[in-house]
Structure 1
C-alpha cells in the first residue's frame, strides 16, 4: 500500500512540476487563454479547411505510431528481461567470443540492437517512408530512404557500442559506484558530439553549401550582430531532394557554430520570414538554451545512472532476471527497459522545459526583429509545409510537444502586434 501511495504522489508531483514550468514559461505578458471556439475561428482565419484536416490526420497518425513504437520496444525489452531469451543470447555470445569479456559485451549488444531493428523496422518504414509519401511530404525513393536508415544505424552503432563496452567495464570494476565514472564519460561524449556532429555526421545525410543570396546573407549577418552573436557560415542544406518540409536550425559550438537553412524554406519564404525564423534560433543562443539543456541533461543523466545502479544491484541479488552480477551483459535488456521506462515517465517534464525554451526564443525573435507580422506568416508557412496540427489536444501537447502549438505562438505574436499599435 505504501508503494502505491508513493507512486501516486510521484505522478502528482510530476504533473505539478510540468504545469508549473508551463505557467512560468508563458510569462506575465502572455495572451489570455482562448476558448475552443475562439481557437477554431483563429485556425480558419489562417488555414483552409483542407489544411486543417490534413494536418490533424497527419499528426494523429504520428501520435499513434509513437505509441506503437513505445509498446513494441517495451515488449521487446520486457521479453528479453523476463524470459530465458536473454540468457540464450548471452550464452551464444560467450561461445562465439571464447569468453573474452569486451568482445562478449560488444557482440551481445549488437545482437540486442539487431533484434530491436527487426521489430521496429516496420514502424520506421511505414512512418518514415510510406506515410510520408501518402501525405506528399517525401521525395525519396525507397533505396535512398533505406540508405539513410542504414547510415543512421551505423552512426548509432559507432557511437553506442564503445559506450556499452565502457559501461560494463566500469560496472565490472566497481559494481556499486560505477555510475560516477560512466556519468563523466557520458557528459564528455555529449559535449564532443555537440561540437563535432555538424562536421562529422551531418554531411553523411545532406550536402551543404553557402547560401547564394548575398543580400539575405548580409541581412542575417546584421541580425546576428544585433543579437550579439558571432556565427560561422550561413549554409543551405539540400533538404528538397528528400522532403517538402521546411526548417532551419542553429548548430555547433565555437568554430563549428553555424546557421543552416533548408532549401525548401528559402524557396517558400520571404526574406522577412527567413529572418524571423533565424532570429528564433539566435534567441536560443541569447538565452543560453543549448548550455542550459546540456546542463539539465547532465544532471538528469547522473540521477538516472544512480537509480539504475541501485536497481541493477537489486535485480542481480534477486536472481530473477537471468543474471546474478551487474556486469553480466545479460543485464543489458534490464538496463534498457529501465532507461525506456524512466524516459517515458520524465517525458512531460522534458517537453515542458523544451516548450519553455521555445517560448523564450519566440519572444527573443520578436525583440530582435520587431516584426510580429513576419512571425505570424512564418508560422503559417512552417505549419503548411510540415502539415502541423495547429491546435492539438492539450493532453498531447503536455505529453509529446517540444514546441508550443502553432495557434498559441500566433496568438503571442498577435498580442505583440496589438501592443505595437497602441
Structure 2
C-alpha cells in the first residue's frame, strides 16, 4: 500500500503544474460541460440518423439473404428497430434538455439547498450533517429523475414492447419492481453512499485509495449476494429439471472442467419474451442460468452451443480481464477526483459557495465525461473481441453449426437489428452484428 500511495504522490507532483490553471477563478467549467454534452448529443444523433436510414433497407444483408427464417422475420425486425429508433430520438432529446436545464438553471444547488432546508426543518444544522444532507439530496434527485423519466419508461414497456409482442409485464408488476428498486436504494444505496463519504472525509489526501478499496470490497460482496438475495426479489430461479438438456450441459461442463454447482432456469417470461443465458459465481462455485424463453425457442443442441459460448468467456478469462480493467478505471477515477475535490473554481462555476463531497464528485464526473466516452468506446471494442473469441471457442468445442442456428434463433426471436450502419454499430454495440458473427463462424481455420 505504501508503494501505491508514494507513487500517487509522484503523480500528484507531476499534475501540480496544472493546479493553478485548473483552480483559477472564472474557469468556465460549466460552459465546457454544456458545450461537450451538446457536441456528443449532436454526434450521437448523427450516428442514430445513419442507423435510422439503414433500417429503411427493404432487404436483409446479402450474407443473411439465404436464410429462410431471417427473411421471414426481417420485416418485423426492421419495424421493431424503427420504432425503437424513433423512441430513442425522442428520449435522447428529452434527456439532453433535462441535462441542459439542470446545469443552466442551477438545478444542483437548488436540490442541495432543498435538502438543507429539510434538515433545518427537522432541527439539524446542515453545516454539521453533510453526509445526511447528501443522502437527502440523493433521494430528491432520484425522485425527480424517476418522475421525469416515468412517461418514457411506461411508453417503451407498454406501447413499443407491447406492440411487438415482447412485453409480458403488467402494470402491477411494474409498480412492484419500482417499489422494490426504491427500497433497495434506501437499504443498500444510501448506507453505501454514507460510508463512502465518511471514508473520503477520514482518508485525508490519500482518500482515493481507501474509497477505491471500499468500492472493491462492496462490488465483490454484491456480485456474491445479488444472485441469491436480490435477484429473487424480481425473478424466480428454479433448478433445471432432469433430462437431456441438463445431462448435455453437465457433460459439457465436465469436459472442459467448468466447476458447475447449480443449473437454473429463470422466469424471464414474466416480464419479456427476450431470451438469454449467463453464468455467475467465483472460484469453484459456478452457476449457469437459462432463460425459460431460450428453452422454449431453441433446440437442445443449440442451447448447449450457446452455453458453450458463455463458458468460453470463462475459459478465456474474459470476466476476470473486464473486472480488472474496471478496477483500474475506478481507481483512476477516484485518484483524478482527488485532484479536484478542493477546486473552489469548479464548485463556483456551478453555483456552489461550499464544497460538499458528493457535489464535487458529481461535478467532477461532468468534466470527466470526455474520458469516459473514450473508455466506453474502447470497452465496446474489447467486448466485441471477446464475443468473437467466445464464438471461436464454441466452434472449437464442435458446436459451430449449432451455435450459428442458435444465434439466428435468438436474434430472430428478439427481432434484433439485421441491417446496421457500421459507424453506429462500432460506436454503440458491445456485441458484433449477427452477419459478422456468422461470417467468423464459417471461416476455415
Shorter-chain TM range is 0.7 to 0.9
**Counterpart secondary structure, 2:63:** helix
The whole-number CA distance in structure 2 between the counterparts of 1:175 and 1:145 is: 43
Point out the more displaced range, 114-123 or 290-299. 114-123
Q: Relative to structure 2, which stretch is displaced further, 110-119 or 264-273?
A: 110-119
Q: Deviations over 1:347-381 (max 9, x none)?
A: 2112112112211111111112x122111111111
Structure 1 residue 390 corresponds to structure 2 residue 411: no
In 1: Cα distance, 2:390 partner to 2:436 partner: 14
Give the one of 191, 194, 213 matched to 1:162. Answer: 191
How many angstroms apart in 2 are the aligned matches of 1:411 and 1:139?
34
Offset from partner CA, 1:111-169 (integer Å, 9 cap, x none): 12212212222232222333211211111111112222332333244332222212322
Q: Return the TM-score normalized by structure 1.
A: 0.82
Conserved? CA contact 1:283–1:365, under 8 Å: yes
Q: Deviations over 1:33-84 (max 9, x none)?
A: xxx9997122322312424423532553465367347525633653575764
Pairing 1:89–2:110 present: no
CA separation in 2, counterparts of 1:284 and 1:385? 23
Long gaps (5+) in structure 2: 1-20, 23-31, 37-56
How many angstroms does 1:215 deviate by?
A: 1.5
Q: Does 1:406 align with 2:406?
A: no
Matches within 5 A, 1:14-413: 40-46=61-67, 47-48=70-71, 49-61=74-86, 63-64=88-89, 67-68=92-93, 70-71=95-96, 74-75=99-100, 78-79=103-104, 84-97=109-122, 98-99=124-125, 100-174=129-203, 176-254=205-283, 257-315=286-344, 319-331=348-360, 333-335=362-364, 337-338=366-367, 342-368=371-397, 370-413=398-441
5+ residue gaps, structure 1: 12-35
- For the 8 Å contact 1:179–1:305, the answer to whether it is kept is yes
Residue aligning to 1:21: none
Aligned-pair Cα RMSD in Å: 3.0
- Report the CA distance between 1:264 and its aligned residue: 1.0
- The separation in 1 between residues aligned to 2:317 and 2:100, in whole angstroms, is 38
Please give the alpha-carbon distance, in whole angstroms, between the structure 1 residues aligned to 2:94 and 2:234.
Answer: 24
The structure-2 alpha-carbon separation of the partners of 1:83 and 1:213, relative to structure 1 and needing over 3 Å to count, comes to closer
Shift of 1:383: 0.7
Shift of 1:86: 3.6
Secondary structure of 2:168 counterpart: coil
- TM-score normalised by structure 2 residue count: 0.78
Q: Matched residue pairs, number?
A: 385
SS at match of 2:66: helix
Q: CA deviation at 1:336?
A: 5.4
